[in-house]
Each structure stands twice: as C-alpha cells, then as structure tokens.
Amino acid sequence: MAEQQDWNSLSDTEFRKIFRSWVDENCPMRLRNMRKQRPVFDELADWYHALADKGWLSPVWPQEYGGMGLNAAKHIIYVEEWARLGCPRIPDHGIGLVGPLLIEFGTEAQKAHYLPRILSGEDVWCQGYSEPGAGSDLASLRTAAVRDGDSFIVNGQKIWTTLAHCANWILLLTRTSRDEKVKQKGITVLLVDLTSPGVTVRPIENLRQEADFCEVFFENVRVPAENLVGEVDKGWNLAKAVLGHERIFLGAPSRPEVALSRLEQLAEARGAFADPAFVARYARLRLDLYDLGSAFERFAKQLRDDGTLGADVSVLKIFCSELYQKITEETLDIAGEEARFLDDLPTGNGEVDAMNLYLDSRALAIFGGSNEIQRTILAKAVLGLPS
Amino acid sequence: MAEQQDWNSLSDTEFRKIFRSWVDENCPMRLRNMRKQRPVFDELADWYHALADKGWLSPVWPQEYGGMGLNAAKHIIYVEEWARLGCPRIPDHGIGLVGPLLIEFGTEAQKAHYLPRILSGEDVWCQGYSEPGAGSDLASLRTAAVRDGDSFIVNGQKIWTTLAHCANWILLLTRTSRDEKVKQKGITVLLVDLTSPGVTVRPIENLRQEADFCEVFFENVRVPAENLVGEVDKGWNLAKAVLGHERIFLGAPSRPEVALSRLEQLAEARGAFADPAFVARYARLRLDLYDLGSAFERFAKQLRDDGTLGADVSVLKIFCSELYQKITEETLDIAGEEARFLDDLPTGNGEVDAMNLYLDSRALAIFGGSNEIQRTILAKAVLGLPS
Amino acid sequence: MPEIILEDPDGTFAMLRDSVAAFAQRFDGAKSLRARRGAGRDLDRDIWSAMAEAGWLGLMLPEDLGGAGLGLSEQAILSEALGRALITEPLAQLSVFSGTLLAGAEPGAERSRLAEGLISGSLVVSPVWQTTDGGFAVVTATADVAGVTLSGTADLVVAAASADVFLVLARSKDERVLISVPAGSDGLSVSERPTVDGATLAQVRFDGCPVAAEQVLARGLLGNDLLDDAIQATRLTLAAELAGAGSKALEATVDYTKERVQFGKPIASFQAIQHRLVDMWSVAEFSCAAIVNALERLADEPGKPAALAVLAAKARAGDAAVDITRKAIHLHGAMGFTDECDIGLYMKRAVNLNATLGNPAQLRLQFVALERAA
Amino acid sequence: MPEIILEDPDGTFAMLRDSVAAFAQRFDGAKSLRARRGAGRDLDRDIWSAMAEAGWLGLMLPEDLGGAGLGLSEQAILSEALGRALITEPLAQLSVFSGTLLAGAEPGAERSRLAEGLISGSLVVSPVWQTTDGGFAVVTATADVAGVTLSGTADLVVAAASADVFLVLARSKDERVLISVPAGSDGLSVSERPTVDGATLAQVRFDGCPVAAEQVLARGLLGNDLLDDAIQATRLTLAAELAGAGSKALEATVDYTKERVQFGKPIASFQAIQHRLVDMWSVAEFSCAAIVNALERLADEPGKPAALAVLAAKARAGDAAVDITRKAIHLHGAMGFTDECDIGLYMKRAVNLNATLGNPAQLRLQFVALERAA
C-alpha cells in the first residue's frame, strides 16, 4: 500500500518540496484553516485514510510499522508545512502517543494488534492522564487498578480527556500502589476499551461551547491483563518518555501566526494601519512572532544536531501561548464595539473569527502544564534555583 | 515664638489657603523642585529655621511640643501643598519618627531634652533599622546591645541609613536577647549619639552617585541607660507603631506627578504630542496618575473618617512606585538617542532631568519594603490567602 | 472585596444591595444567562418585569414621570450589585440611556406613555443611534407629500427583537431629532447577531418607515447636552457594572484557589498566585475609587472635571474587569476553560461591557484630548 | 547562561571568548569604567591599545588593509564577550562603524594610513555624522577661491576628546562625501557631555575648517550602500554587546539571589523571584536566537531578509538587556541601588547601547515599514 522511501536521506529542501506538494494537492480545501482547533474523526475520515494509504499518517513511526520513520529534522518540516498549508489537526493520540509507546514498550502481540488499527482508523484513541485532583500535579492521580485473576478492575475518574466522546480506546494511567513518598511510583499504564461495561463518557463544553474534552468515569471496569503496557507500578517514566521531542511543537509559531494574519486582515479592513498607535502595537506583536520563529529555530537546530532537547525548550510554549493571547486581545481591541459579537466579523474580504481565537487563546497557557508550572520547572532545571 | 492656633477647627479649604500662601511666600525659590530627592540639612537650614520659628516644622506633634497638632486630614493637605509647591523634603527623621516616638513612649526628661533640639536643628536624626542581613526581613536584625552597669554596649552594623553622614543622632533598633522562635521579641530602641567613640559612618553612593545613605558601624559604643526608649526587649511594636498613618504618603502621587510633568515638557519640546503612538502611551500614564489620585483620596477619606488605615493602603505604594518607573522609562524612550546622556536634556524651556528621575525611580520599589514583600503582606492581610 | 464606598447616611445604598441579593436568590444570574443564550433570546422578559417591580427601571427617572427620582450614585450602587450577581439584562441601555433621553424630551403624551411603560416594564424601549464603529448612525427623516418617513440603518441595538418601541436618533435636515417608532412598523426590519455574553445585538433598518407628528419626542438635539448626558450616565453605569463583575470574579477566584489543592497545598499558597491575586485586587480597588471620584466630580464639579472623571472611571473599570476575568479564567485552570464554570460568563460579560460606548484605549484618548483642549 | 550559539568547527569563536576572558583578568571592566568616569575621560587609551594588540580593532577589516578579514559572526562573538565583561570602550563605533566606512572608501594613502592606525590603536578614528535625534547632521563642504572648507555641527560623537581623526560625513553640493579631519584642525571645536555609562558624547562644530583634496576618502555616498552596511554592522555589534551584558547581569542576579537570605531562605527560593528570573532568562535566550538568525540571514539572504533580521535582533537585544538589568537592580535590593554594586553599571551600559542607532520602538517601526513595503 504505502510508498516506502528513506525520507531522511533527502535534503531538507527536497523533502519539504515533495511533502508540501502532495499534501497541498490532497488535503481537501474544506478542511483548511478550520475554525475548530480539534475537529473530530468523522469530519476528517477521508483525509485520514488518504494519509494512511500514502503511508504519511505517522511521521515518526518506523516504516516497518507503516510510518514515515522521520528523524527530528524532517519531522519539524512535516509539522511546519502542515501548519503552513492550514491542514487540520487530526485526532493524533493514537499516532503521536499510543503508537510510539507501544513501539518502544509494547509486546509484539500488542504492536501487531493495535498499530494497524490506528492506521486504519478503526481505533481512535484518547489519553487518560488528568484527574480532578491531579492536573498540574499529575503524579497524585488516584484512578485505581486492582489485579483480579487475569484482569485488572479499574475504578476512578479522568477529566480533560480530549475527544473521548469520539474515541473507542483510552490510554490510561492508573494507580496500582500507594507510596506517598514517591508518588510517581505505583503508576501503571493500561489500554482500555471505552466500550467496556462500567465506562461512562461525559463531554464537557469549553469556552467556545464546543465539546472537545470529556470526563471519563470507570466503575468496576474489567481490563484484560494483556492490556498492560510495560510493568505494573512502573508506568510513570514510560508515560513521560513518549513525550520526547514533541514538546517543541507546543511552542511552534503556528497558532500566533494564524492569529496575527487575522489581526492584519481586520486591521486592513478597518483602516487601523493608518493609525500610528496601532502600528506601534502591531510592530511589537509582529516582532514577537518573528523572534519566536528565531527561537524555535534555535531549538529545532539543537534537536537536529543532538536528537534531543532539554527542559529549556518549554520557554517556547510560554512565549508562544502568551503571544497568542496578546494578539487575540489586540484583535478585540481594534474591533472596538464589534468586540461584543460572538460571531465572526465581516471584512469585505472574508470573515475574521476574532472571538473564536480570543477564547481559544485562553487554553494554551493552561493545558499541557500551566505557564506557572513551566516557569517553576525552568527555574530549577535551567537556572538551578533552590526550593 | 510660634503662632498657635487650632488648625483642625478650620475648614479644609481655609487651612489649605493659609498654609499654601505662607509657604509659597517663604520657601526660597532656589529650593523648589530640586533635583535631589533628599537634600542635606545644610542646604536647607534657613528654610528649616523659618518653619521652626513659625511653628510649622512638625505637622503632627501636639502644639504643646511646638508642633501644629494636625489631624490626619489636615496633615494630608500639608503634604499635598508641600508637594504642589515643589518644596524640598527636609531631613525628617527627627520630626516624623523620633518626635512621635518620644511623645508617645519617651520619658518626660527625654521629651524635654530632645524635642526642642529637633526643632532648633541642633540635633539631626537618622534611623538605624536595616542591617546587611535584615532588610525586608527586619526582625532578624543582629546589632547587639548588652547592659553594662548604667550603660548599654552596642556592637554591630546598620546599613541604608539615610543621611547618617549629616546627622548627629541615630534612633537605633538593637537586639538585647535572642529568641529564634519569635524574632520580634528581644528588640530594644536606643537613642545613640553618633559622635560617641566607636561609631563609624561610611557614606554609600547611590545610582545617581549621590551619598544619601550610609553604613554605620558600632564597636563597643557606650550608650547611657537613660537613652533607652520604652522597655528592654519590647522595642519592636514601639518601632512599628510610630509608622502610623504616615504610610499613606509612600503612595502619594507627588513623585509620578513630577515625573509626568517632565515627560510632558520633553514631549512638547520634541514634538511627541503630534505622534499618536506617543499620545496613546502618554494617555495610559496620564490616566494611571489620575486614578492614583482617586485611589489616594479613597484612603485619605478613610483616614479622615476613621483616623486609621489598614494594611491595604500599601496598594498605593506599589502602584505609585511602578507608575513612577513607567513614566521615567517612557521619558527615556522618547528621548531617543539622547537617553544616552547622564546630564539634563535641554528643551528650550528649562531642562528635563530624564536620567536623574529614571535612576531615582528605581528606589521606591525597593525601599520601605520591596513591592514583593508588600504584595505578600496584602495577600495575607487583605485576601486572607494561606501560607 | 473591593466595592464602591459612599457615605450612606439613610441606608439607601445598603437597601439597594440587599434588594439585588434577594433578587439573585430568585433569578440566578448565570443560570438565567445560559437559559437566555440557549433560547437565542435578547431579553428575559420575566426577569425584566421583576426588575421593574423592584423599582430599578425608573430609578433615575424624575418623580413627575413616575420614576424614583434618584441619582447616579444610587444607579452605580445598583449596577455594581447587578454586575456582581451577573444579572445581565441590558439595564444600562434600556433604563439609563433610554430613560435619560425620555427625561430630557419634550413633555407630551407619547413621552409620558413611554416613561410609564419603561418604568413598569410593560414597554421595552430600545435606543437606536449607533453604527458598528460606535459612531452615529445615519437615519434620515424626510418629509414629502405623503408625510414624514425614516430611512437608514443603525447597529448595536440591544433587545431589538423584544423591543416594543425604538427610540431613534434621526437627522431631519440640519437638526437631530428623537423619534419613537413602534416595533412592527411598516418598513422596519431587524436582524440579530449573537453577543459574546449570550444575548444579541441587532441591525435595525428603516426603509420608508412612516412617522406621525406625535412620535417626535425631541428636536434640536445637536445644540444641547442631552445626548452627552445620556452617554455619560450610561458609561458610569457600565463602569459600575464592570466593577461589580470584576470584584465578584476576584472573589470567586480567591475562593477557588484556596480550595484547589495541587502538590499537597492550596494553590492560593503559592507566591506567584498570591501576587497575581493581589494585582487583581489592586485594579478592582482602583476601579471603585475611580467611580467614587466620578460621582463626586459629577456632584461638585459638573462640566469638564466630571466629564474627565467619567471617562477615567469607565476606562479603568473596563480594563480592570477584563484583566481580572482573564486572569481568573487562567487561575481556574482547565475548569476555567469550560462553559460549565461561571467564571467564563463573567469574562464574556466583561468583554461586552468593556467594548460598549468606548473601550479603554478610546476613552483614554478622549480624556487626553479633552484635558489638553484649551 | 544564554549565549550566541554558532557552529565553531575551527574553534575561532571559543578562542575569541577565551581571549576576552583573559583580557578581563588584566583590565577589570567595572573598575576601568569607574576610573574613566572619575577622570571624566571618553576613552581609556591603555585599554584601547591592549584591544588593538589583541587584534580586535581590525577584526573585520580586509586583510589587504592589514585587518584580520573576519566577519560579523566573529565580531558578534567578540562583542558579546566584551558586553559580558563590561569592557565598554566604544568598539562598535570606532572599529566597526569607522572600519566599515574605511573598508568601503576609495583606495589611497590617507585611507591606508587611517586603517593602519585604527588597527594598531595608534589612531582613534571617530565617525561624525549624527544629530541628537539620530538623523544625519548637516556638515557642508564648500569650495571657494581659498579652497574647500567644512561648516556645520554634529552630535553624539564618541571619543571626541581622544580622537586623532574625525571621519566626517559631509554634504558637497548634491552628494555625500566622507572626509578625514585631523583633531586640532582650524575651525574645529568639541564640547563634551557625560553619558550615563561613564564616558562622553560630544558636539563637534566645524567653522570654516579647511580640507585638502587628499582628505576626501569617498564620494557619491548617497547612491551606494556603504553607510547602510556600516549602520547594519554596527547595530548587530551593539545587539551582541547588549546580549552579553544582559546575560551576565542575569547570571550575577541568579548568583546574588541564591546567596541573599531573607526570612531564613535564599530569596531565589521564592516563587515570585524564580518566575521573574525565568522571564529574564527567556528574553536573554530570545536575544541570542535573534542574533543568530540575523547572522544566518546575512549569510544566506542578504538584502531585505537580512535587513529585517538585524532590525529585529537589535530591538530584541536592547529591550531584553534593559529589561533584565532593570529587574536585576530590583532583585539586588538596596544593594542594587548603590553605585558600588556592578549591576548598576550593567544597567547604565544597557541604557546607552539600547538608545544607540535606534531604540527598540524605532527599530520595530522600521521593520514593519520595510516588511510591508511592496
């Protein structure tokens, strides 16, 4: 089925060109630059299957498992072009999280069973990490898994589970023993079928009144022991390991880039570029975005050269999320009285989803570890500040 | 000598008029709007004596001790008019600190001896609170006073002692016993003659290269026991008590007011008011200052009505010090390349001491309790946040 | 928590606050907002009637028109309390703005009818005068052999679908006139768009809409201060509502961060969170102080000093409420990003009110222009 | 601590950094600055000679003029290191700016003499071309029967009292010319004013100052890019120096806050302080990344992309250094407010360099104007 080629042996320019031209040709226009940050599987199914058929659905999986086997440098190009072409984010927990986890830590049987079903779209995965009492402090999670013969019995609750209502499997962090001293110990990774008896999924609407995350409740849910990944009580490092170099993409300039282009569009339409006060504020945002690009490249280069990243990469995510907010705030400011509208603003040259972006921009500073947590981590890891 | 009158019985308007007109007539023009925040005694002696002769040197001391006996409302007017007329800050530790302390806690002999000598200018006082290891955390001070017969022997070091090199007496916080649990216990207030053997004063230059504070070293300095104020080991509350309602003046708008008028002067001269980008930034600063006035009045009113203030008043000091910095930063920004100069900037209509104010504005956010400490105090005292 | 501090010798202000608190027991603000939003409506008529019964709609209307004859101080206290309780029916426009225009209109039967209806809640009287950029709409009254007709378009009209009467500021030759136009008149059309805080704003179009002589409520509005007075009173009302919303959002966030435990401690014990909360509290205090200053200037120094003070108060309260509610969302963590959590409704409400009748940047420029004008 | 990260296959950059570190052992930056300031001098000639011996003054001058023929990357690494070490002799103007002009001037004896002197440190060659607002000074070369003379005034001249030669950008009829004027020439006067970082800037006046033909180093400077190149190279040099100063100020503050104990703990353990330090580190990282980007654009995409990148780098590094050093002062507490503490010298240095050749606000506007130009 899939075209096999050693992509890493191409020059960056060649790869970029090949990748871009096929994606541009094949990604349906109706999916480009979507208002939704996270469309659900059904909206994207044909594009998903087209990618899978091409063998381009999984940028980093080795080719033997149906991926492209890209190294970090090529992966960055993949993500950059994806963003530049306005392609939608596809439900990516199976591809970005479960796949790499199983490839590194799964049994042969698990790999043989689950990986093809991710590529075929038969299984759509979500990620069961956060709990009501364990957000930034993930290690204090309490959803319990108790061994019972050849099964685990799971009881507890997850929250902020993205798109769980559109998924049929969940990668679940559970607690299998309690050691208050080292909370990270005693955590176990299970693969859980969401159609199992005892599972309840409740969508939660976000500020944009879209349900893109859920609560997931587990009441005496029986999970076969073969769904264990790695060893019992040793799931923490395993769950952390697969994050890998993907952290750099949390700080990629794509979101503020989109927001700035909307700001420019509205500013052109409303004549704001004739106002030096606006231009001065715009200039600051424009340069912030430009410099974010330079900083992103600084870490991308490190990744290319060393194949790895330090804790310091999260500076990108902090800067990026705060810039995204500043841009959407400025957009509302120049909208004047029109900032009162929920719906998109007409410009005579397409609409500007000012409020949609403003509300969306609240999320990035919170999710994936709040900016406060990130700063505290940087303080210790990079500056070596004492506790 | 001094004119005696019940000032508090006058209307605010009457009092303001009487006070203002005499001060405006008598404060020498060469002393108005001085570049130095804290001129030394010798520069001001004639004005000091004129005020003392008039009985207007000490706004809050009772009239029986040669003060004006103003209540809080009238005191605010005194300070406001003083600032509005650009009068210099006079060396005020004797008047503002030592006087009230002795009037409330001193012996009759102490009052009879020290108060007149403050009014006459014979004694110039400074305040020995901070130490190298005890700045924001004042209670951890270590300068030791040990009883020896009818004396105390003092050993230790003070720092940031304002104008100590121009003073002949110091109000000294000393440690007389050590109780690590409650550090505030075991602190004793002594009046110390700076000409005593064993005292060394070393001026420290500030960022403006002016010596307005000093280190003061005490090596086996003998202090007569009658120079004790209050009781041994019980000096902490006594030292705190005399701060009283004066805290409101740390947040009075006078400093940012002066700075904004300089910004306006430079902006007029350089044509910046024709630039809408400047006007937008200026407008923010102007409104901040305007609103600081409203907030100051909110606390002044409380002081007038209740005669007391809560911890929340320090919001003024935080806002005021940060605004002062923002204004002086904007002044440097519009100075363009001229921001490189240390000396004053010519405008064709007087000079603007842009760098002088910029450097001075660094101080207020640090001294008198850094803004971080103030915020932490507010968090507990006003919002009741947990430790 | 910060609030507008005014001397209250006869207890009027305390009474107003109590009455809003009692009202909020009957009509939960957040719940009502969600219900109205779900139904796509621009006004909750039940709540509106209850507000009329509480005596709030005619608070500032003179007694000879059936109002309570109270002043902006009472209005500010009321609106602050409504802001806290998230009672979001558009009182500022439908009572303060429309009421001020009616109070200043020429005496007559139509004016009396409208005032009475406004006060009793039986008539929703919606002002029509703006374009989407906040400026004056061009609605023109033209006379020909068939009579006078209105033509033109206005935007940002609140409660347009619920309105019984539109209070239209129109041009007639060289003057500006105030005209009462019943909903459903010929040639009148309304198209609504949703607002961020769960109501709507409408475009109202007049296409040869006939006007009878008795519908003209006032003439010569270019030469007098009526419109400025209405804008000023409404801005101060909005400022008070913003101050109330900001103060309540701060309170909710303090409560939440005291309860929310992470790393074994309430997050309110972390210094970075504490300082953020203190900054939120500071701007809330400054908002209230700015409003008190505006009320005092209006009482003591009408004219330019009062005009400056009102501009400052609306700018400060708007900036503060938007800033506080943004931070509040963030400090509520993932919970704050859900629609279920009321804090998001406060944020959205603050965004709308802040942008109404001038956002802070615009108001600050007006302040500076006015202050520096010779 | 953040630094400019460049591939260094042959170790040149490491060597440059080492040589600055060794230099700073001989000439302590802060001590030298205080000494020069105390003496009211504009240049420390001993240090200047030592910098010449180190080979730094002719770093970018072509080898045929006796220079090292290196590029802006080497200059950036050098200037970053000098910024860290607070070695504040005006290399950017006297070596990079003057050197670029000389390298682009027409070949000739005077040019060779000046280049040689500049590189050896025996001649201080100070550029003269600006007014106090940063624009072009009006210095006019006029020919009459008695010969060519210069008249006019320029400002912001560094090392004017120490200068042996002024490199004057003058107008001659419709063209711009570069003229070498020896210090002490007839009709030449210099008046100095102190700078915030302990040197001086001078006004230089020409009042019929005679010019011989061989003093004219270049003509037709309106039509070519020489001056733009000089400004661009100098801006990047200043950016690197700012990045070095900012990074060092951050390091000093991290060290200080780790040592300084209050309430029984090092103040670096307080979360509010930690987050502030992290923000300082972030902008320092961004400065270095912006400079690397500019160096890459200059190498790969000269012209507009490079011009944009240099503007961005100077703006970012200036903003960052000023911001870092302000916060550094604050975090040093009362100590930071003393002249004894070196941190204040870093702050003052950052203020000067940030304002030199365009402050961030001005550079950002230039960036946007250039980017949006068709």
Mean pLDDT of B8-34: 92
Question: Which chain A residues contact residue D362 at CB under 8 A?
Answer: none
Beta carbons of D290 and A297 less than 8 Å apart: no
Domain of D29: which CATH number?
1.10.540.10
**Residues in chain C, pLDDT under 70:** 223
On whether both D233 and D364 belong to a single domain, the answer is yes
Indicate whether D5 belongs to any domain. no
CA atoms of C91 and C125, how far apart (whole Å): 11
Indicate whether C242 belongs to any domain. yes
Please tell me which residue in A43, A210, A246, A264 is annotated as part of the active site. Answer: A246
Beta carbons of A336 and C133 less than 8 Å apart: yes
Where do the DSSP E strands lie in chain B? 125-128, 144-148, 151-162, 169-175, 187-193, 199-205, 211-224, 228-229, 345-346, 351-352
Question: What would the pLDDT profile of D175-203 be if each residue is shown by its tens digit?
Answer: 999 999 999 999 999 999 999 999 999 99
Indicate whether C3 belongs to any domain. no
> Would you call D328 helix, strand, or coil by DSSP?
helix
CA atoms of C350 and A314, how far apart (whole Å): 31
Comparing alpha-carbon positions, the chain C residue that sits nearest to D274 is C272
Partners of D140 in beta bridges: D151, D171
What are the start-end ranges of the H helices in C185-225?
Answer: none
Complex ipTM = 0.95
CA atoms of A244 and C269, how far apart (whole Å): 32
D262, D271, D273, D330: best to mutate for the C interface, most C CBs within 10 A: D271
Query: Could you write out the three-class secondary structure of C87-127?
Result: CCCCHHHHHHHHHHHHHHCCCCHHHHHHHHHHHHCCCCEEE
Q: How many CB atoms lie within 10 A of CB A139?
A: 15
With an 8 Å Cβ cutoff, is B383 touching chain A? no
**Residues in chain D, pLDDT under 70:** 223
Domain boundary among D200, D218, D236: D218
Query: Kind of pairing, strands C125-128 and C165-172?
Result: parallel
CA atoms of D81 and D240, how far apart (whole Å): 8
On whether both C174 and C243 belong to a single domain, the answer is no
8-state DSSP, A313 = G
What are the start-end ranges of the H helices in chain A?
Answer: 12-26, 41-54, 72-84, 93, 99-105, 108-119, 235-241, 254-270, 276-306, 314-335, 354-364, 371-381
With an 8 Å Cβ cutoff, is A30 touching chain C? no
With an 8 Å Cβ cutoff, is B280 touching chain A? yes
Domain of C254: which CATH number?
1.20.140.10
On whether both C47 and C181 belong to a single domain, the answer is no
Predicted local distance difference test score (pLDDT) of residue A1: 45
Domain boundary among D75, D101, D120: D120
D253, D255, D274: best to mutate for the A interface, most A CBs within 10 A: D274
Where do the DSSP E strands lie in C195-317? 200-211, 216-218, 261-262, 265-266
- Calculate how close chain D gets to B183, using CA atoms only, in Å: 10
- Calculate how close chain B gets to C209, using CA atoms only, in Å: 42
C269, C271, C274: best to mutate for the D interface, most D CBs within 10 A: C271
Q: Using beta carbons and an 8 Å cutoff, which residues of D are at the interface with B?
A: 130, 132-134, 156, 193-197, 201, 261-264, 270, 272-273, 326, 329-330, 333-334, 336-340, 344, 347, 351-352, 354-356, 359, 361-362
On whether both D261 and D361 belong to a single domain, the answer is yes
Beta carbons of D333 and B136 less than 8 Å apart: yes
Of C240 and B88, more confident: C240
Residue A3 confidence (pLDDT) above 60: no
CA atoms of D138 and D131, how far apart (whole Å): 8
- The mean of the pLDDT values for chain D is 96
Domain count, chain D: 3
On whether both C351 and C286 belong to a single domain, the answer is yes
Predicted local distance difference test score (pLDDT) of residue A243: 66
On whether both C263 and C354 belong to a single domain, the answer is yes
Predicted local distance difference test score (pLDDT) of residue A209: 92
With an 8 Å Cβ cutoff, is B198 touching chain C? no
Q: Which of A277, A366, A376 sits opposite C334 (nearest CB)?
A: A366
Going by C-alpha positions, the residue among C322, C308, C314, C315 that lies closest to residue C352 is C322
Going by C-alpha positions, the residue among D94, D350, D90, D362 that lies closest to residue D246 is D350
On whether both D244 and D344 belong to a single domain, the answer is yes
Inter-chain contacts counted by CB atoms under 8 A, chains A and B? 11
Burial of B82 (0-12, 13-18, 19+ CB in 10 A): buried
Q: Which tokens belong to A228?
A: 């264990």
Q: Which of A283, A294, A315 sits opposite D368 (nearest CB)?
A: A283
Question: Which chain D residues contact residue B333 at CB under 8 A?
Answer: 359, 361
Domain range for residue C129?
125-218
With an 8 Å Cβ cutoff, is A274 touching chain B? no
On whether both C158 and C274 belong to a single domain, the answer is no
Indicate whether D2 belongs to any domain. no
Where do the DSSP E strands lie in chain C? 125-128, 138-144, 147-158, 165-172, 175-182, 188-194, 200-211, 216-218, 261-262, 265-266
Q: Which of A279, A291, A385 sits opposite D365 (nearest CB)?
A: A279
- Calculate how close chain B gets to D225, using CA atoms only, in Å: 23
- Greatest Cα pair distance, chain C, in angstroms, is 81
Beta carbons of A337 and C133 less than 8 Å apart: yes
On whether both C20 and C63 belong to a single domain, the answer is yes
Beta carbons of C258 and B386 less than 8 Å apart: yes
Indicate whether D366 belongs to any domain. yes
**Chains in contact with chain A (at least 3 beta-carbon pairs closer than 8 A):** B, C, D
Predicted local distance difference test score (pLDDT) of residue B180: 60
Beta carbons of B315 and C277 less than 8 Å apart: no
Question: Which chain A residues contact residue C264 at CB under 8 A?
Answer: 137, 140
Question: What would the pLDDT profile of B165-197 be if each residue is shown by its tens digit?
Answer: 999 999 999 999 877 666 778 999 999 999 999
Distant-in-sequence, close-in-space partners of C173: CB < 8 Å, separation ≥ 6: none
Question: Which chain B residues contact residue C288 at CB under 8 A?
Answer: 298
Q: Which of C195, C329, C356 sits opposite A362 (nearest CB)?
A: C329
With an 8 Å Cβ cutoff, is A10 touching chain D? no
Going by C-alpha positions, the residue among C238, C192, C188 that lies closest to residue C351 is C238
Residue A74 confidence (pLDDT) above 90: no
- For residue B145, what pLDDT band results from cuts at 50, 70 and 90? very high
Question: What would the pLDDT profile of A117-165 be if each residue is shown by its tens digit?
Answer: 999 999 999 999 899 888 777 888 899 999 999 999 999 999 999 899 9
Question: Which chain A residues contact residue C197 at CB under 8 A?
Answer: 340
On whether both D17 and D54 belong to a single domain, the answer is yes
For residues D92 and D32, the answer to whether their CB atoms sit within 8 Å is no
Domains of chain A: 7-90 (1.10.540.10), 125-234 (2.40.110.10), 246-382 (1.20.140.10)
Beta carbons of A275 and B279 less than 8 Å apart: no
Beta carbons of A207 and C354 less than 8 Å apart: no
- Calculate how close chain D gets to B172, using CA atoms only, in Å: 19
Predicted local distance difference test score (pLDDT) of residue A36: 74
Of B206 and B34, more confident: B206
* AA identity, residue A24: D
Domain boundary among C202, C218, C234: C218
Indicate whether C274 belongs to any domain. yes
Indicate whether C56 belongs to any domain. yes
- D55 phi and psi, to 5 degrees? 85, 15
CA torsion B240→B243→B245→B247, rounded to 10°? Answer: -110
Q: Which of A293, A301, A383 sits opposite D281 (nearest CB)?
A: A383
Beta carbons of B287 and C364 less than 8 Å apart: yes
Beta carbons of D269 and A290 less than 8 Å apart: no
- Annotated catalytic residues of B are 246
On whether both C148 and C28 belong to a single domain, the answer is no
On whether both C335 and C299 belong to a single domain, the answer is yes
Q: Which of B336, B365, B370 sits opposite D134 (nearest CB)?
A: B336
Going by C-alpha positions, the residue among C374, A8, B361 that lies closest to residue D329 is B361
- Calculate how close chain A gets to C301, using CA atoms only, in Å: 30
Is A246 an active-site residue?
Answer: yes
With an 8 Å Cβ cutoff, is A387 touching chain D? yes
**Angle between helix D304-331 and helix D360-372 axes, rounded to 10 deg:** 160
B21-25, long-range: CB < 8 A, 24+ apart: B22/B54, B22/B56, B23/B56, B23/B81, B23/B82, B23/B85, B23/B87, B24/B85
Q: Which of A130, A137, A160 sits opposite C263 (nearest CB)?
A: A137
Predicted local distance difference test score (pLDDT) of residue B1: 45
Question: Which chain B residues contact residue D130 at CB under 8 A?
Answer: 337
Beta carbons of C270 and A372 less than 8 Å apart: yes
